[in-house]
Structure 1
Amino acid sequence: MTYDEERNHSGAEWSEHVPVLLAEVLSYLAPRPGGFYLDGTLGLGGHSEAIMDAAQGEASLLGLDRDLATLDKARTRLARFGDRVHLFHSRYSDYEAAMDELGWDLLDGALLDIGVSSMQLDQPERGFSFLADGPLDMRMDPDGDTLPASHIVNKASPERLRMIIGKYGEDPMGGRITNAIIDARAKSPIETTLQLAKIVEMAYPAKWRAQARNHPATRTFQALRMAVNGELDELEAFLGTIVPRLRPGGRVAVISFHSLEDRMVKHTFAAEAKGCICPRQIPVCICNHEARLRIVTKKPVMAGEEELGRNRRASSAKLRVAERL
């Protein structure tokens, strides 16, 4: 989803909304009239609107989002394209069901912009941010069947907590943070974002806190959000099915904000771009594996200085693109 900070105060959230790496996405997807495009992480609809405009409003677009609030705003934003835009309240890993419902077979382009949106971060009641007090929620779909972050923080075993913070957060202080959470919840439940942020902050050694570039709770909050919403499982499911749903020459573009996600995209694209995958000791190919993708971006594409100047949240965005053979 889009990281942007360009909302004005009139209530028109997208009037200054510029999606991350927008020019690059349009350059690689090259939307055209008559094409079929998927925006699996619709957000406020910035990327989708630009895709439709680039195709002169004559493409067909499928947009998915788990958040009903942002989906409603995107529906208003994209209304001018009429019945060429189809929006679904859905996980992006379920895009095939939406395609089948529409009678779509193949795509000319597919886009994911993974993460949490500014709209979600800026609403304390959603519980994504450690900068304002709110319930410890973090669900992309508050109306769905997932449990909030408070459930993990207060109920998960020490082993699971340590795994989540260590693996998803990649935090070298994961063990200390886990111990601090266990100690705190034994006294009273941890129910708010500022409660948790303070616990994590104090788990860091004083010297680390003084020298930290980011708030000590940054990695823990990211890790919990990923666990609550099953984000790595979502990405794995999408990457496992998208290639055969691309038309030859069609492209898939993924913007990620986490090293684990970027690594998964990189390795999947690399595997799909290989021919024979037999072990080296076998002299003649017996696997019959054929390459299905061409890697378009040899290295991840990142935001330039101009974009970073207006949107600091774009600093960790990495775009990778591959094309169906």
Structure 2
Amino acid sequence: MTEFKHVTVLLHEAVKGLAIKPSGIYVDATLGGGGHSSLIASQLDNGRLYSFDQDRTAIDYNRQHLAPAIAAGRVVLVEDNFRHLKAALAQRGVRAIDGIVYDLGVSSPQFDDAKRGFSYQHDAPLDMRMNQQQSLSAKTVVNEWPYQRLEEILYRYGEERFAPQIARNIERHRQRQAIETTGELVEVIKEAIPAAARRHGGHPAKKSFQAIRIAVNDELGALEESLEQAFDLLKTGGRISVITFQSLEDRLVKTMFREKSSLPDLPQGLPVIPAGMQPHFKLVNKKPVVPSHDELVANHRAHSAKLRVIEKIQNN
């Protein structure tokens, strides 16, 4: 079995947030190393867990890692993007669930496997595809997308203040020859950022690599689509736990959760809010749960993690 080392962040907090029922139907939208799936499966008797991942490496690893739970019928592996949540579950006869957990971003094995091209720390072919069957890769984005689109994703998805300079430098370099590797891209990015700015705020390529990765995998679009489907699929009393690792994801989740759990705009002076206009969801935790001091010491990748949980309190 291929080693798939990944320390799951906020593992117990996220699963506790689901308030597992032993006979319930649950989804792990981001299987990865199987941390959440293992813990959820251990709390089921005649319930069932559907574990999604678009990365075949994760699916292959968990066929063995979760073999006893799969054999017992408690876990079903689904090789698919979580943006296809409703359709994939419907194919398996599931049209309502008791809970779903999302552990967003890139898993440690994807970052640590140099040939996947996610990391600015390793020189590797430009790739960054979570689903290695898809055609769009970082190489295509960097070498073929027009200047304006590059600038837009660097600013929007990377919050990179030097987006115009970086996009222009990418354009200059690729006119001479294609940018093939992560190492080449790092140098192009460094060259575009003033020396004084490079001395502060971490690795100069960090924001750009995040932006390109999000664009390659349409991470924010997929997340928004999937969450909308998850809201519809939840039974009354069902919950969604979401762990984010960067501000764009967290802002999206926070906004969608707030909209679902807030009262609609109503005319002033109504003595009673009509029952049909009550929110259908409530926030389980008003503020995000963050890792404990011990977890931060044990796992440096936990530092930016935030957990938000929402519960469905009435059907639409």
Of 190, 207, 222, the residue aligned with 1:201 is: 190
* TM-score after normalising by structure 1: 0.90
> Does the alignment pair 1:92 with 2:82?
yes
Q: Corresponding residue for 2:238?
A: 250
Shift in Å, 1:37: 0.7
8 A contact 2:162–2:193 mirrored in 1: yes
Question: Is 18-27 or 217-226 further displaced after alignment?
Answer: 18-27
SS of 1:80's equivalent in the other structure is: helix
**Cα deviations by residue, 1:35-67 (Å, 9 ceiling, x for unpaired):** 111001111211100111133x54310011110
Aligned counterpart, 2:221: 233
Measured after TM superposition, the shift of residue 278 of structure 1 is: 4.2
Alignment match of 2:14 (pick from 25, 41, 45): 25
Which of 120, 124, 127 is residue 130 of structure 1 equivalent to?
A: 120
Is 1:154 the counterpart of 2:143? The answer is yes
Report the 3-state secondary structure (helix = DSSP H, G, I; strand = E; otherwise coil) of the residue aligned with 2:229.
Answer: coil
One-letter code of the match for 1:176? Answer: Q
Matched position secondary structure for 1:241: helix
The one-letter code matched in structure 2 to 1:120 is: Q
1:171 maps to: 160
List aligned pairs for 1:176-187, cutoff 5 A: 176-187=165-176
Quick one: which amino acid aligns to residue 80 of structure 1?
P
Q: Judge conservation of contact 2:11–2:36 (CA < 8 Å) in 1.
A: yes
* Equivalences, count: 311
Show the counterpart of 1:305: 293
Query: Unpaired runs of 5+ in structure 2?
Result: none
The structural deviation recorded for 1:97 is 1.6
**Pairing 1:104–2:94 present:** yes
CA, structure 1 residues 228+279, in 2 after alignment: closer, same or farther (shift >3 Å)?
Answer: farther
Task: Give the Cα–Cα distance (whole angstroms) in 2 for the partners of residues 160 and 60 of structure 1.
Answer: 43
Q: Percent identity, aligned pairs only?
A: 40
Letter in 2 for 1:221: F
User: Quick check: 1:73 aligned with 2:61?
Assistant: yes
- Aligned in 2, Cα 1:279/1:148: closer, same or farther, shift over 3 Å? farther
Counterpart position of 2:103: 113
The residue matched to 2:50 in structure 1 has which SS?
strand
Residues 79-103 of structure 1: per-residue CA shift (max 9 Å, x gap): 1112221111101011112221222
Q: In the aligned structure 2, how far is the partner of 1:324 from the partner of 1:283?
A: 25
* Superposition CA RMSD, Å: 2.2
Q: CA 1:72–1:187 in structure 2 vs 1: closer, same or farther (change >3 Å)?
A: same
Q: Distance in 1 between matches of 2:118 and 2:110?
A: 7
SS at match of 1:262: helix
Can you list the C-alpha shifts for 1:10-51, whole angstroms capped at 9, x where unaligned?
96435xx43110121122113231111100111121110011
* Partner Cα distance (2:48, 2:9) in 1: 22
Structure 1 residue aligned with 2:305:
317
Provide the C-alpha distance between the structure 2 equivalents of 1:281 and 1:128, rounded to a whole number of angstroms: 55
Alignment counterpart, residue 253 of structure 2, candidates 265, 274, 293: 265
1:6 matched residue in structure 2: none
Q: So what's the TM-score if we normalise by structure 2? A: 0.92
Distance 1:281 1:267 in 2: 27
Query: Aligned to 2:118, what secondary structure does the other structure show?
Result: coil
Residues 120-166 of structure 1, C-alpha deviations (whole Å, 9 max, x = no match): 1111111101111111011111112x411111111111110000000
The separation in 2 between residues aligned to 1:285 and 1:156, in whole angstroms, is 50
State how far apart, in whole Å, the 2-side matches of 1:154 and 1:283 are: 61
- 1:118 deviates by 0.8
Counterpart contact for 1:107–1:246, Cα < 8 Å: yes
Determine the C-alpha separation between the residues in 2 that align with 1:150 and 1:262.
Answer: 27
For residues 152 and 108 of structure 1, the distance between their equivalents in structure 2, rounded to whole angstroms, comes to 39
Query: Deviation string for 1:209-266 (max 9, x for gaps)?
Result: 1223x21111101100100011111011012221121111110011112212111111
Paired with 1:46 and 1:59, the residues of 2 have a C-alpha distance of 18
Which residue identity is paired with 1:211?
A: H
Cα contact 2:14–2:242 (8 A) shared by 1: no
Q: Please give the alpha-carbon distance, in whole angstroms, between the structure 2 residues aligned to 1:196 and 1:303.
A: 33
User: Residue type matched to 2:96 in 1?
Assistant: L
> Which residue number in structure 2 is paired with residue 139 of structure 1?
129
